[in-house]
Structure 1
């Protein structure tokens, strides 16, 4: 049962980039209709190429969250959800990695676990750390503003 949900922190520049890109994708067929006097067939074709991309960007933008149950971390990113057993977490460290990740901010944390790692950006990092520590007693503060399994 999920008992803690954290939203992604959103950097303003990234929000403008994603929302602006979505708006541009939506405006392409409108521009074609108003200024180029194109046929309905052409406008529909352009719409079929651009509007799904805009919708996909918006779904990903508004649908990133991190949920904790008693024994798992669920990372929801658009249409997929990744499940990480809490007992497998070995390190949680702060990072500014620009790697592709289910995170809308560069103020991120990297969660290393047996079998891999994931980078996320919870808005309430301190609350996220506390919630993880409540569930995994073996994770202790490492002095570098992170958590490590002892």
Structure 2
């Protein structure tokens, strides 16, 4: 059995007047993340981890922010397309471990729904997608509530 590991990282700024999308779900909050797509920082980090594990470059290569078809796109579609690319190359997902860094709002209550939504898209068990939330203890851009960051590691197996 051949296994591979990939790492993903993403960051987006917060702003007024945008919806907050994380892990494929809309979270009620006074601000949202800025990006060419819906700026779902968690899904973007997971896509990068999966693509990197398969040596398929990164999310910007596959879904460039200069492409009109990805303007304001739902990141769940990017996740689905990432799975399609992995499958075409002969891989399946073993597991994903991800962390969201944000001061507010509290993310932990939303984690089970995020797991459910992304597990359905990726055709894996909710047990195979770990999501954790943390703050940056009021330090840096996350601590000043200027934006969110997210990290992800993915294990894939050759079918």
TM-score, length of structure 2 as denominator length: 0.27
Q: TM-score, normalised by structure 1?
A: 0.28
Larger Rg: 1
